[in-house]
Amino acid sequence: MKALIAVLPGDGIGPEVTREGVRALQAVAQRNGHEFTLVEAPFGGAAIDASGDPLPQATLELCLKSDAILLGAIGGPKWSAPDAKVRPEAGLLRLRKELGVYANLRPVAVHPALRSSSTIRPEILVGVDLVFVRELTGGIYFGAKTRDATTATDLCSYSVMEVERVTRVAARLAQARRRKLTSIDKSNVLETSRLWREVVTRVMQAEFPDVAVEHALVDSAAMHLIRRPADFDVIVTENMFGDILTDEASMLAGSLGVSPSASLGDGKRGLYEPIHGSAPDIAGRGIANPVGTILSAALLLRHSLGLESEACEIEAAVYRALDAGLRTADIASADVDGGRSVSTSAAGDVILAELARA
Ligand code: NAD
């Protein structure tokens, strides 16, 4: 098949890990006779430096005509001064809005070889295989903000339509998995959460009676996520709760560096990025873990291009490489090869070699 893929390396370790994601996509295309056109464009802090705009018009136009977008990471101290007029994050929020990607999928599966890298006891991690579906374009991050000398406010608002559409994405995912959906809210306190719970209940009863639904309050869900993570299948929640809980859940997997994400809307086009940021503390050293980006490339193949078996090829290559002892600095531990770790590009080489062996 032919596909146009926009590549936005961004800032910090973004370009380092994106390079490995691109190589994985090119390798899969070559193996399977696909023609992927990968076009790079400036985004984030790098684009502010070049043109003053974190999302230049040409980058936006490229994304809008692409089948999928692979993003590295954006941001860094250079663009984070409190009085900064324009920030990289503004470009990301705008890009998500322009693409209409309202559902952020974050799978968390703890590969057995990485159980000892997590700060959670290994026996708690057996069987963990969950997916967060975070609402991405509504809620308090997008509401009106006010500020005077003594007070600040952020408005949190959700419409029925916004809750319905993200519920359907999560429910369809649950149907293809273990048919279990956990909806997380704070309905004992927040009016938006009461609406959320009502809408989720109605949509699931009317359209997805084959999926078991449970509702959980965000505070106790945060606790159960590390107490009994293997019990969860698909979790759906609003923007801010999802932002916080997905970072918590990523620690089950041992490192921010290994987790992928997909942001989807109504069509096939999606935005794919590792869940980590630009990691300024290690940028430029060639030691970042590219696994989160490479697994994001697999999600791109699955959700935007419909190439399920190619997605599985990449995932299997990553897992075989980890099984064989592949470790970057963030997941190296003394019990594997004396804690020795490889560079970003060497990790990419090992994964490509596994891909070639399949
Ligand atoms: P971060 O995810 O960049 O880094 C947190 C810690 O994890 C750091 O110690 C870092 O070295 C480590 N880490 C992250 N990714 C890694 C990888 N692939 N391999 C090895 N180690 C890795 O979070 P932060 O430090 O809070 O934020 C840094 C910048 O990134 C900020 O400007 C922030 O706004 C931005 N950020 C961007 C995104 C995004 O692009 N979507 C997401 C989160 C944060």
pLDDT digits (tens, 9 = 90+) for 297-336: 999 999 999 999 999 999 999 999 999 999 999 888 655 6
Q: Is 114 exposed, middle or buried (0-12, 13-18, 19+ CB in 10 A)?
A: buried
- What are 101-112's pLDDT values in tens digits? 999 999 999 888
- What are 254-306's pLDDT values in tens digits? 888 999 999 999 999 999 999 999 999 999 999 999 999 999 999 999 999 99
Residue of 247, 278, 287 to mutate, ligand 1, most atoms within 8 A of C-beta: 278
Residue indicated by tokens 């090992």: 350
Q: Which atom of ligand 1 is nearest to the CA of 80?
A: 32
Q: What is the pLDDT of residue 337?
A: 62
Find the 310 Cα to ligand 1 centroid distance in Å. Answer: 28
Residue of 78, 263, 276, 328 to mutate, ligand 1, most atoms within 8 A of C-beta: 276
Q: Which two tokens stand for residue 175?
A: 């149907």
Which amino acid does the sequence have at 151? T
Q: What is the pLDDT of residue 114?
A: 85
- Rounded mean pLDDT, 191-199: 98
Beta bridge partners of 299: none
Let me know: does 25 contact 46? Beta carbons within 8 Å.
Answer: no
Residue 104, Cα to own-chain centre: how many angstroms? 7
Q: What is the pLDDT of residue 336?
A: 60
Q: Which CATH architecture has domain 119-253?
A: 3-Layer(aba) Sandwich (3.40)
Pocket of ligand 1 (CB under 6 A): 13, 17, 73-76, 80, 89, 92, 256-257, 273, 276-282, 288-289, 292, 330
Find the 264 Cα to ligand 1 centroid distance in Å. Answer: 22
Averaged pLDDT score across all residues of the chain: 95
Nearest-CA residue for ligand 1 atom 40 is 73
Q: Which atom of ligand 1 is nearest to the CA of 288?
A: 19
- What are 54-71's pLDDT values in tens digits? 999 999 999 999 999 999
The Cα 230–Cα 127 span in angstroms is 5
Residue indicated by tokens 């801010």: 240
Nearest-CA residue for ligand 1 atom 30 is 277
Find the 13 Cα to ligand 1 centroid distance in Å. Answer: 8
Q: Is 251 exposed, middle or buried (0-12, 13-18, 19+ CB in 10 A)?
A: middle
Q: Is 234 exposed, middle or buried (0-12, 13-18, 19+ CB in 10 A)?
A: buried
- Rounded mean pLDDT, 117-127: 91
Q: How far apart are the first and last CA of the chain?
A: 20
Nearest-CA residue for ligand 1 atom 8 is 279
Q: Is the pLDDT of residue 195 over 90?
A: yes
- Rounded mean pLDDT, 228-257: 94
Q: Is the pLDDT of residue 190 over 90?
A: yes
Q: Do domains 1-102+260-358 and 119-253 have the same CATH topology?
A: yes
Q: What is the pLDDT of residue 253?
A: 87
Q: What is the pLDDT of residue 335?
A: 59
Q: What is the pLDDT of residue 334?
A: 56
Find the 229 Cα to ligand 1 centroid distance in Å. Answer: 24
Find the 313 Cα to ligand 1 centroid distance in Å. Answer: 27
- Rounded mean pLDDT, 184-206: 98
Q: Is the pLDDT of residue 89 over 70?
A: yes
Q: What is the pLDDT of residue 118?
A: 86
Q: Is the pLDDT of residue 19 over 60?
A: yes
Find the 89 Cα to ligand 1 centroid distance in Å. Answer: 13
Residue indicated by tokens 């106790």: 220
Domain ranges of the chain: 1-102+260-358, 119-253
Let me know: does 133 contact 170? Beta carbons within 8 Å.
Answer: yes
Q: What is the pLDDT of residue 315?
A: 95
Nearest-CA residue for ligand 1 atom 37 is 277
Tell me the CATH number of domain 1-102+260-358, given options 3.40.718.10, 3.40.50.2000, 3.30.420.40, 3.30.1330.10. 3.40.718.10
Residues belonging to the active site: 141, 186, 219, 243, 247
Q: What is the pLDDT of residue 115?
A: 86
- Rounded mean pLDDT, 116-121: 87
Q: Any residues with CB less than 8 A from the CB of 240 and at least 6 apart, and which?
A: 139, 140, 141, 156
Nearest-CA residue for ligand 1 atom 34 is 75
The pTM score is 0.93
Of 113-127, 218-232, 333-347, minimum mean pLDDT range: 333-347
